[in-house]
A and B are shown apart, each in its own frame.
Chain A
Amino acid sequence: MGLMAIDKRDLSAFIDGLIPQWEVVAPVPVEFKYAFRKVGSFQDVALDYTNTMLPPKKFLLPQRDELFSCNPEGGPSLTPRFDETPRVLFGVHSCDVHGIWLLDDILAEGCSDPHYLCRRSNTLIIGLDCKGPCHDNAFCKDMGTLKPAGGFDLFLTDLGERYAVQVGTGAGTALAERGGFYMADFEVREEFFAAWQKKQSGFPNRIGYDTAALPNILAESYDDIIWEALEMRCFDCGACTTVCPTCYCFDVLDENDIGTDRSIRYRRWDSCQLQDFAAVAGGANFRGKRSDRLRHRLLRKGKYFKEKFGRFACVGCGRCGRSCLLHIDVRDVFNQLKG
């Protein structure tokens, strides 16, 4: 859609103006790292943050997500739970916008997931361009996520005295009407283009080939001994999937409210890397080998979703590699397979 701009000095008033109406979530410093948290004021926001420990996914698909409550009185009666909190995710980097954009497709596809879609339709996303590689193992450029292509309402790029603002949706247009924003003139457009070129050249490629080849490379690697080699470094702790912006697998559980006979059915994040993920009550475990689980995760990231949705289920943020106790890094595996 269109390109607008906002002067830096007006951003604070814009964000603070949203807080009475929306729950504004933004990156804030937490100890020596950053996390997406609800903020009380623009002052709390860390604009120059490097990637957060967990992606902002947790505000759309929370770790614990209540699906319905069950009250034994009345037959029993089941009451679905939908989180309709109006929310703004502010300061989301391009990689994480891509992550959300993919989840949008996945959770709307087939039998759509109304618990996600309800949160999503009440959430506005205001992205913010990062200025340089956040970490040695980020490979966003290779995965094609240096700039957003969808899934955002507004997306800000720092131009020095002001931000260029890409408007992605009608809701973004409405936000921009709240004041402070103006249409980008020729100068803004030139600066925006220069900033994009600078960003592109500032990010190195970290995969030694065009990732368009990745689905085929992975298909040919199905029986590769590399999975058994990786298995020796994997504790199947599930950290990689916990920090992933595109992982969405879940388990469904009941929790009793002791003393009232009421219960809550909720889902919580699960991980295909955990030992019992594909085990059934009868005793069979259909992905009991760690090497098979590692292969499954990597093929989901680099093959299956690319073939189904046209986009990788890996945004190259590098969180999994950073969180892995023994440094199993998707990027290294992708390189190793082709090298």
Chain B
Amino acid sequence: MNHKYVSPYVPRLAELVTARQLTSREKFFEVRLQDGSALGHQPGQFVEVSVFGVGEAPISVSSSPTSQGLGFELCVRDAGSVTHALHELPEGSTIGIRGPYGRGFPLDELKGNDLLFVAGGLGLVPMRSMINYAVDNRADFGRLTLLYGSRTPADLLFADETERWRGTPDFHVATTVDLADGAWTGQVGPITKLFGGVAINPVRTSALVVGPPVMFRFVLKSLLMMGVYESRVYLSLERRMKCGVGKCGHCQIDDVYVCQKGPVFPYTRVRKLPEAL
């Protein structure tokens, strides 16, 4: 085949190096591209993961580009046909990877600012990429704060890592769950409950928000109430990014393809898109 055309729909082959159950619904994967190259992603970007014979689904990259590993990491909930098949694959299996796609967090704009990470549920997965980037480039950022809300204590992701972040200089971590069990001694309630306990300097803070759609309005309100500038609030929007290259139409919000202009948007842009929130 000596085609002059290269199809953006044909993935690169990759190996599932490790597959580890994280919670009852989420599995953690270490992935390495077969050609040995680095993924070359930015925090907040996503890849299209192929399970051959089943299909393809968009998945956020969870590792930071600064991480020392040979590959990159994904954390995937068993939610649809492709993710279910991915959960069933044994370590060493070959999958397909396209991307990275989309625009991640605006690293240059964030530099020098205090960062307030607000993650709801699976939102911690892409946020982890950005958090570890900030931790690995600690001198580039001011105060770090993570507010993380989860359904139950058993759904909390990356518990070890959350502890490690807590031990990082000038990094404040607060978590809450919607439904507590007997052993839980922490906060209970929606993520907005955590805002009362954080001290931020609003004019120096960039807020990064990733979470389920229901979370955004409440979190935005809290952020703006605290005095954070609208132009410094960034949201990562979940959509069905089927093709990843701005063609298939599924991820469109009004006239914007999320896979091209997002998934991370400044709130000032989202505000002008009625379908966004």
Contact = CB atoms under 8 A, between A and B. Distances in A.
Given A265-B9, A278-B251, 9 more contacts: A68-B9, A68-B10, A80-B3, A80-B10, A82-B3, A113-B245, A114-B7, A115-B7, A270-B249
A106 B96 CA distance: 27
A114 B238 contact: no
B52 A248 contact: no
A282 interface: yes
Nearest to A249: B249
30 contacts: A67-B7, A67-B9, A70-B52, A72-B52, A78-B10, A78-B13, A107-B247, A113-B245, A114-B5, A114-B7, A117-B5, A118-B3, A222-B274, A248-B247, A250-B248, A251-B250, A252-B9, A252-B242, A252-B248, A254-B55, A265-B9, A265-B56, A272-B252, A277-B240, A281-B77, A281-B79, A284-B212, A287-B275, A296-B254, A307-B255
Contacts of A296: 252, 254, 275
Contacts of B260: 110
Given A68-B7, A72-B52, A272 B249 contact: yes
Contacts of B79: 281-283
A280 B53 contact: no
B243 interface: yes
Given A82-B5, A265-B56, A270-B248, A286 B242 contact: no
A283 B25 CA distance: 15
Contacts of A118: 3, 5
Contacts of B212: 282, 284
A278 B13 contact: no
B53 A303 contact: no
Interface in A256-277: 256, 261, 263, 265, 267, 270, 272, 277
Contact of B250 (A278, A304, A307): A278
Contacts of B142: none
A308 interface: yes
Contacts of A261: 53
Nearest to B51: A254
Interface string B7-25: 1111101000000000000
Interface string B39-74: 000000000001011111100000000000000000
Interface size class of B (residues with CB under 8 A): 35 or more
A281 B53 contact: no
A64 to B, nearest CB: 14
B235 to A, nearest CB: 14
A229 B242 CA distance: 31
Interface in B113-150: 122
A250 B249 contact: yes
B199 interface: no
B111 interface: no
A253 interface: yes
A35 to B, nearest CB: 25
Interface of A: 67-68, 70, 72, 75-76, 78-80, 82, 106-107, 109-111, 113-115, 117-118, 222-223, 248-254, 256, 261, 263, 265, 267, 270, 272, 277-284, 286-287, 292, 296, 299-300, 303-304, 307-308
A119 to B, nearest CB: 10
B240 A279 contact: yes
A222 B260 CA distance: 23
A281 B57 contact: yes
A79 B246 contact: no
B201 to A, nearest CB: 34
Contacts of B251: 278
B248 A249 contact: yes
Interface of B: 1, 3, 5-11, 13, 34, 50, 52-57, 77, 79-80, 83, 94, 96, 122, 212-213, 238-240, 242-243, 245-255, 260, 274-275
A281 B6 CA distance: 29
A249 B242 CA distance: 10
Given A78-B10, A82-B3, A280 B240 contact: yes
A277 B250 contact: yes
A251 B242 contact: yes
A75 B13 contact: yes
B250 A75 contact: no
A281 B83 contact: yes
B255 A67 contact: no
Given A70-B53, A222-B274, A254-B53, A114 B8 contact: yes
B213 to A, nearest CB: 5
Contacts of A272: 249, 252
A303 B255 contact: yes
Contacts of B96: 78
A270 B242 CA distance: 11
A114 B6 contact: yes
A86 B153 CA distance: 61
A222 to B, nearest CB: 6
A252 B255 contact: no
Chain A to chain B: the 9 pairs with minimum beta-carbon distance, closest first: A249-B249, A281-B80, A114-B5, A111-B245, A281-B79, A304-B255, A263-B53, A80-B7, A67-B9
